[in-house]
Amino acid sequence: MPDYKASKPESTQFGRSIFYWGKRTYVMGVINVSPDSFSGDGLADVEGAVFRARRLAAEGADIIDIGGESTRPGSTPVSIDEELQRVIPVVEKLAHEISVPLSVDTYKLEVARQALDAGANMINDIWGLKKEPMLAELAAQKNVPIALMSNQRGSSCHDIMSALISDLKRAIKQAVDARVPGENIIIDPGIGFGKTQEQNLELLQRLEELQALGRPILLGSSRKSFIGWVIDLTPEQRSSEVAFVPPGDLRLEGTAATVAIGIAKGVDIVRVHDVKEMVRVCKMSDAIVRGM
């Protein structure tokens, strides 16, 4: 078994970029190439996705995460062919147009393989190798980072942190056994994936416990439903005062709070929709937490 008390690696290579852990928080911008994204920012065409990616890079995103299947609860899975048609043209175009590294948000082996061949530099697996263990072998073969999420959908647990840490240990061991270099393994607690709203809050309260696993931590709290639950706003909700505000903006302040607290508790990457605003939150939080 890996040494889970070891400190996280000093750095990880993402394409031509190197992320130095502990120096600052890195921002992952989200591109949803799916019409039914939970956050209201889904895009149905290549040009729209490329335009948005260019804007996120200009706003300060350190990496762009491209996904072709909605992960919202109750969404209908798409076929491999459909996901390929959505994702690959976007990756191909962006790989030639922007210098920011690209991540592919998928748990399907063939989608990940073709995305890496098209120019992606990272795999973001929301099932933490439970759906497709061969993703670890692919990451090892291509020598790319892989983010492993703890996903509780389809199961129930009363002690969320115990279940979470056990699941992440299992995923890390699978990746190590597949010869993924330790510095290429990133962990994600999976906010919103099979957790109750109370468990999402507990997870944020206890995030620092994940540091014992010795891996860089990715936090994906942006616009999640528990924020709407706390502040009593759904992403579609409108009032006379916010009639012209985009859906996700109604959770902007709540997202900012989760990002700041996550950084204080040791998070290394934040996956967000609102890059410009969250880059500023990260800079301020880093100045306080890391003494910059």
Q: Determine which of 95-99, 159-163, 167-171, 225-229 has the lowest per-residue pLDDT on average.
A: 225-229
pLDDT of 119 > 90? The answer is yes
Tens of pLDDT, residue by residue over 11-62, are 999 999 999 999 999 999 999 998 754 444 556 688 889 999 999 999 999 9
Catalytic machinery residues: 224, 271
Contacts of 200 (CB under 8 A, 6+ apart): 191, 192, 224, 226
Instruction: Tell me what the mean pLDDT of segment 238-252 comes to.
Output: 53
Taking the domains of the chain in order of start, what are their residue ranges? 11-289
Tens of pLDDT, residue by residue over 210-219, are 999 999 999 9
Neighbours of 273 (CB within 10 A): 24
Neighbours of 79 (CB within 10 A): 10
Top CATH class, 11-289: alpha beta
Which conformational region is residue 94 in: left (phi greater than 0), alpha (psi within -120 to 50 degrees), or beta? alpha
Closest CA to 34 of 22, 43, 26, 25: 43
Determine contact, residues 124/65, Cβ cutoff 8 Å. yes
Q: Is the pTM of this model over 0.95?
A: no
